[in-house]
């Protein structure tokens, strides 16, 4: 049986090389070829002996999810649809900005959490993504963007020349990763952490912990585990300033209510690479966007060093919600800022190709029968 080398973080590579009777430095070589040069062909690994290359060719493969669609929005945002088998497909989004390029990565095929305003939530849930499927998104996107920047087809030699070694970091188009695509990353803890370790590894993507952000709907015990194993920048999807409203919008709140969630955020900050947590707050017209909500929010988060990111709701068919108008968002932002808490408004990117927050739907073979249940519900 062949092993997919995209499943391995550093320890996996080391173990694999040891099993082949190879020295530990081979593990580093392989990691660099695969993750820095984007190579998927062992023959391209020119500093590895021919006999080892042949051995690798029979024992291993480098297989990322296949790109089935590649769309670029008017503002340069690019979205890939990737096939992960058995009728499921996931989405990955690249958001270019003047001084950085952010890749938004999916962690599950669908999502089990059922937040009412999220398109992925409506799709239902199929399964957790594997490490190869998670890191494979960064691998595929890096290759595609390097090829674009070279103005030519991707060639491993070209990529190796531009990108190998520490000095190459400056030319990399992806400077930041956010675990904010489809799925709840903390519900797929082990695979997400293994993939993030590769993002942080100097022999792979070499990103600093501040440049990798994980966003969660608030799985409290897993926030603590993350703090102890792989403390990257943390974003928490708050969306409501009190338990009654949050129970409705983000149902996992019924299990881990606000008090527990905020306490976990405070604990996280002790180890976080940034000295604040980002609270995301989707602005839903007439639901959570009033001045009274802003005041409650200020009281709620006051004890936690934080920034608030207001996200104008991105619509999708049959969502039942409307985006707050810009005056309402500005007023809400003002109330928060008056309390000396930084509040920014997230600009919608790529909404003409359904690539904005909450619009990612991919293709999910729902195992939870969520859609059937919803259709059976009386319309209120």
Active-site annotation, residues:
91, 357
Does position 184 bind ligand SAH by CB under 6 A? Answer: yes
How many of the other CB atoms lie within 10 Å of CB of 304?
19
Does position 324 bind ligand SAH by CB under 6 A? Answer: no
Does position 129 bind ligand SAH by CB under 6 A? Answer: no
How many of the other CB atoms lie within 10 Å of CB of 287?
21
Query: How is residue 284 annotated by DSSP?
Result: B
Does position 90 bind ligand SAH by CB under 6 A? Answer: no
Backbone angles phi, psi at 333, to 5 degrees: -60, -40
Angle between helices 220-229 and 189-200 (to 10 degrees): 30
d(CA 322, CA 64) in angstroms, rounded, equals 37
Q: How far is the CB of 37 from ligand SAH (least distance, A)?
A: 30
Q: Which of 22, 280, 289, 351 binds ligand SAH (CB under 6 A)?
A: 280
Does position 124 bind ligand SAH by CB under 6 A? Answer: no
Residue 58: which of 140, 120, 2 has the closest Cα?
2
Nearer to ligand SAH, 9 or 280 (CB): 280
Residues 348-367 interacting with ligand SAH (rule: CB under 6 A): 357-358
Convert residues 50-89 into a mask of x (bound to ligand SAH by CB under 6 A) and - (unbound).
----------------------------------------
Q: Which of 123, 191, 216, 333 binds ligand SAH (CB under 6 A)?
A: 216
Question: For ligand SAH, how many residues bind (rule: CB under 6 A)?
Answer: 17
Is the Cβ–Cβ distance between 82 and 94 less than 8 Å?
Answer: no
Q: Are strands 78-83 and 66-72 parallel, antiparallel or unpaired?
A: antiparallel
Does position 282 bind ligand SAH by CB under 6 A? Answer: yes
d(CA 234, CA 136) in angstroms, rounded, equals 22
d(CA 226, CA 220) in angstroms, rounded, equals 10
Q: Which of 144, 204, 217, 308 binds ligand SAH (CB under 6 A)?
A: 217
d(CA 377, CA 137) in angstroms, rounded, equals 36
**By CB neighbour count within 10 A (0-12 exposed, 13-18 middle, 19+ buried), where does 203 fall?**
middle
Q: How far is the CB of 181 from ligand SAH (least distance, A)?
A: 7
Residues 284-323 interacting with ligand SAH (rule: CB under 6 A): 311, 313-314
Q: What is the separation, in whole angstroms, between the first and last Cα of the chain?
A: 54
Does position 268 bind ligand SAH by CB under 6 A? Answer: no
Convert residues 235-254 into a mask of x (bound to ligand SAH by CB under 6 A) and - (unbound).
--x-----------------
Q: Which of 39, 52, 62, 118 binds ligand SAH (CB under 6 A)?
A: 118
Q: Are strands 89-96 and 60-61 parallel, antiparallel or unpaired?
A: unpaired
Q: How far is the CB of 200 from ligand SAH (least distance, A)?
A: 19
The secondary structure element, H or E, covering residue 144 is helix 131-150
Nearer to ligand SAH, 62 or 111 (CB): 111
Nearer to ligand SAH, 140 or 213 (CB): 213
Q: How far is the CB of 108 from ligand SAH (least distance, A)?
A: 9
d(CA 184, CA 107) in angstroms, rounded, equals 7
What count of residues does the chain have?
A: 380
Nearer to ligand SAH, 102 or 163 (CB): 102
Nearer to ligand SAH, 160 or 219 (CB): 219
Is the Cβ–Cβ distance between 38 and 159 less than 8 Å?
Answer: yes
List residues near ligand SAH by CB under 6 A: 115, 117-119, 180, 184, 215-217, 237, 280, 282, 311, 313-314, 357-358
């Amino acid at each position: 049986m062949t092993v997919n080398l995209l499943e391995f973080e550093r320890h996996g590579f080391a173990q694999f090389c040891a099993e082949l009777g190879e020295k530990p430095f081979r593990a580093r070589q392989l990691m660099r070829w695969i993750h820095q040069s984007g190579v998927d062909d062992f023959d391209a690994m020119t500093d590895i002996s021919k006999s080892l290359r042949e051995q690798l060719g029979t024992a291993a493969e480098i297989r990322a999810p296949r790109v089935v669609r590649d769309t670029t929005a008017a503002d340069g945002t690019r979205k890939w649809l990737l096939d992960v088998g058995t009728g499921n497909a996931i989405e990955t989004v690249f958001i270019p900005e003047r001084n950085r390029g952010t890749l938004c990565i999916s962690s599950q095929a669908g999502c089990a959490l059922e937040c009412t305003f999220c398109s992925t939530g409506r799709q239902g849930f199929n399964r957790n993504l594997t490490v190869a499927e998670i890191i494979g998104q960064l691998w595929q996107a890096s290759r595609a963007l390097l090829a674009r920047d070279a103005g030519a087809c991707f060639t491993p030699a070209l990529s190796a020349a531009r990108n190998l070694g520490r000095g190459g970091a400056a030319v990399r188009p992806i400077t930041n990763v956010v675990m904010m695509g489809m799925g709840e990353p903390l519900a797929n803890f082990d695979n997400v952490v293994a993939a993030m370790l590769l993002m942080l590894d100097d022999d792979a993507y070499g990103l600093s912990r501040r440049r990798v952000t994980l966003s969660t709907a608030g799985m409290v015990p897993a926030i603590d585990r993350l703090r102890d194993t792989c403390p990257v920048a943390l974003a928490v999807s708050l969306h409501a300033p009190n338990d009654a409203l949050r129970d409705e919008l983000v149902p996992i709140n019924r299990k881990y209510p606000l008090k527990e969630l905020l306490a976990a955020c405070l604990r996280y900050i002790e180890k976080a690479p940034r000295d604040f947590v980002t609270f995301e707050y989707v602005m839903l017209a007439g639901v959570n966007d009033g001045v009274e909500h802003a005041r409650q929010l200020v009281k709620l988060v006051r004890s936690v060093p934080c920034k608030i990111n207001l996200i104008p709701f991105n619509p999708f068919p049959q969502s039942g919600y409307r985006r707050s108008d810009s005056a309402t968002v500005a007023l809400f932002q003002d109330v928060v800022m008056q309390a000396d808490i930084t509040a920014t408004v997230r600009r919608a990117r790529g909404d003409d190709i359904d690539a904005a927050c909450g619009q990612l739907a991919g293709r999910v073979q729902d195992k939870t029968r969520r859609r059937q249940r919803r259709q059976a519900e009386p319309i209120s």
